[in-house]
Chains A and B, each alone.
Chain A
Amino acid sequence: MASWVRPRRIPIVRIVVIALFLAFVLAPLYWVAITSIKPSDDYLAVPPVWFPDAPTMVHYEAALFAYRGLQGLINSIIISISATILSVSVGTLMAYSLARFNTGGQHLSFWVLSQRFLPPIAIILPLFLNYRLVGLQDTHVGMIVAYTVFTLPVSVWMMFAYFRQMPRSLEEAALVDGCTRWGALWSVAMPLAAPGIVAAAVFTFIACWTEFFFALVLTSRNAFTLPTVFRAFLSFQGAQYGEASALAIVSLVPSIILGVLVQKHLVRGLTLGAVRG
C-alpha cells in the first residue's frame, strides 16, 4: 500500500511576518552600509544605486580622522566600559545589601529606582556648572562618573530582582559550612548571579554607548563620545551622508560583538532563570 504521508504544512503566515520584519529592520541598515561606501554623487541618484560600481573608503577615512571619529570611538570605549564596570560592581553590591539585609528598610530600594524618574534635563545644568567648578568638565573621569551615577539605578534594580529570587538558604548553607559573608557572596551568590550581572552590564553598556545628551553638554574637544561626532555631519554645509553612514557602521560593531558574546547569558539573565538545584 502507498504509505500515507501527511504533507508537511508550510507555516506561510510565519514566514511572511518574519520576512516583513526583517525587511523593515535590515533594509535601512543595508542602505546605511551601502551609503558608507558610495561615492558622494550616488547618495541621492535617481534611480537609486543599490550597489556602487566603485566602492570607496573615503568616507570612513574622513569620518575617523578628519572629523575625529576615531578619537570619539576610543573615548566612547573607555568611558562606556569603565562606567559599566563601576555601575555594575557598585550596583551588584548595593543590590545584595538591599536584598539580603533589607538595608534602608522598605523605602531605600524604591528610592533608588525612583532616581530614574528624574528627567536628565532637570539635572544637566547644575551638573554642568558643578563640573566646571571642580574641573571635571570635558574629562573622561567626569563622563565616567556621570554615566556610572546615571545608570546605577537600573543596575541596582536588575540585580536586586535577581538576588531576591535567589534562595537565601544557599548562602546560609555556605555560612554554616565555613564561609564568611564575603566568602558566601563570592563563591555562591556571585556565580549564581552571573547571568543577571551580564544582563545588567549589557544594559548599562548600551545605555552609555548611545547616550547623547550628557555628552553634548559635558564634553567638547577632549572627552567627546561617538554620538556627539554625528553633529558635525548633519549641521554644517548640508548633510555628509557618507561620513555619517560610515560612523554609524563603526558604532554598531561593538554592540554586535557584545550581542554575540553574551547572547546565551542574556536570555537567562532577563528571564531571571531559576537557580534552584
Chain B
Amino acid sequence: MADVKIKGLYKRYGSFEAVRGIDLDIPDGEFTVLVGPSGCGKSTLLRTIAGLEEISGGEIAIGGEVVNDMRPRDRDVAMVFQDYALYPHMTVRNNIGFGLKARKMPQPEIDSRVDAAATMLGITALMDRLPRQISGGQRQRVAIGRAVVRNPRLFLFDEPLSNLDAQLRDEMRGEIKRLHRDISTTMIYVTHDQIEAMTLADRIVLMRDGVIEQEGAPLDLFERPATTFVAGFLGSPKMTFLSGRMVRVEGAVTIALDDGPRLPLPEGRIPDVADGRAVILGVRPEHISRATGPAAAPGSARLDAVIEFLQPTGSRTYATFRLGRAQVMAEFEAHDTGRPGETVPLDLNLSRASMFDAATQRAI
C-alpha cells in the first residue's frame, strides 16, 4: 500500500519531450486511470513510475520515498503489460512464482501463494501449461496472477485489455474492478479507451501531448470538461460542438449559432465574456430530448429540427439533426423517434451543455 507523488516530471528522448512537466498526487488505495490518445505519453509516464525509463527531470515518490534512482526491483511495484509478457519458456506456475523466486522466498511459501492466486483467478487447471498453450484471456489472467502474487504496494497496468476481443474485454474489466475492491491496493491503469477509463477509475487523468489536460472523478470530467479536447475525448457518441457568438438582446443573453437559431441562456449559466465573443457550445446526445408540453422546460431552449438519419442500438436510438451548419446527435427512447425528413420540436438542455471560448478552447 502506498501513495504516489509526482513532481515536475520530464522525460525526453533526444530533443523530443514525451512527458512535459507532470504533477500528480495519487492517494493510497486509489484506482487512477491515465487516458488519452495514442502517443500522448501515458505509457512513458507509467514506465517511469516502474523504473523502466530513466527520468529527465522532476521527482517520483512512492510511499513517501523518492525512487528516482531506484532499480525497478527495489520499487516493490508490479506491472501488467499489453502483450502480457509471460515468459514463454516457463509454465504458468513458474511464470506466476517467478517474482517470488527472484526475491528468494522459500519454496513452500511460493507454492502456497501461487496456488492461492491461481484459485482466485480461476486458472488452477492451467498451471502446468506453457503460455503458448493457453488462450489470450487466460494469458491475461496469468499476467494478473503474476502481479497479484507478489502483493506489491502498487499495481501498474499498461493497456492490459487491448489485445482481447470485445466480450472478453468487458469480462476482464469487471474482474480488474473486483480485484481492486478486494485488495484495495493503489492501481495506475493506462488505456486509450474512454469507456474503460470511465468504468474503472476512481480518478481519471486525461493526458495530451505529454501534459495533463484535466484530472478528476470520471463524472466530473464528463459533466464539466475543462477543454474541448476533454469534452470530445470522453463520451460515446461524441459531444457535438456548435460554434456561435454571444449576443445580448434586451437584457437576455443568447448564443447565436452560426447560420442557426439563437438560444437564450438560462440564469446561472451565463458566462462572463464580452458581447460578440466567439464561443463553442458542446452538446451531448443526452442533452437533447423530444419536446413535450407547450414551452421549453426551465434551463432548456426549444427549437425545431429536421431528422437527417437514425441509428437504432436496440435500447436507445440516436437521431442526427441538422442545426445551422452543424449536425447534432440526440438520444431518444427506441420507439419514440420519428422518421428521417420529419421536423420535430426539440428541447436542448442548456444548463447541462458545456460552453467554451472559441479562442482558447477552454470552458467558460
What is the interface of chain A, defined by CB distance below 8 A to chain B? 167, 169-170, 172-180, 183, 187-188, 191-192, 275-277
Contact = CB atoms under 8 A, between A and B. Distances in A.
Given A277-B130, A277-B132, A176 B50 contact: yes
Nearest 7 interchain pairs by C-beta: A277-B131, A177-B99, A178-B102, A169-B85, A173-B85, A277-B88, A175-B72
Contacts of A180: 71, 73
B335 interface: no
Contacts of A191: 89
Contacts of A192: 88-89
A8 B87 CA distance: 45
Contacts of B280: none
Contacts of B100: 178
B87 A277 contact: yes
A180 B146 CA distance: 18
B11 interface: no
B239 to A, nearest CB: 35
B77 interface: yes
Describe A's contact surface by its main secondary structure.
helix
Nearest to A277: B131
B81 interface: yes
Contacts of A177: 73, 78, 98-99, 102, 146, 150
A187 B101 CA distance: 11
Contacts of A188: 87
A188 B50 CA distance: 19
Given A176-B77, A277-B86, 13 more contacts: A167-B83, A170-B87, A172-B79, A173-B79, A173-B86, A174-B102, A176-B73, A176-B79, A177-B73, A177-B99, A178-B73, A180-B73, A192-B88
17 contacts: A169-B82, A170-B88, A172-B79, A173-B85, A173-B86, A173-B87, A174-B98, A174-B102, A176-B77, A177-B102, A177-B150, A183-B102, A187-B98, A187-B102, A277-B87, A277-B130, A277-B131
Interface in B83-132: 83-89, 98-100, 102-103, 130-132
B198 to A, nearest CB: 27
A277 B81 contact: no
B88 A169 contact: no
A176 B52 contact: yes
Contacts of B72: 172, 175-176
A176 B139 CA distance: 18
Nearest to A179: B102
A176 to B, nearest CB: 5
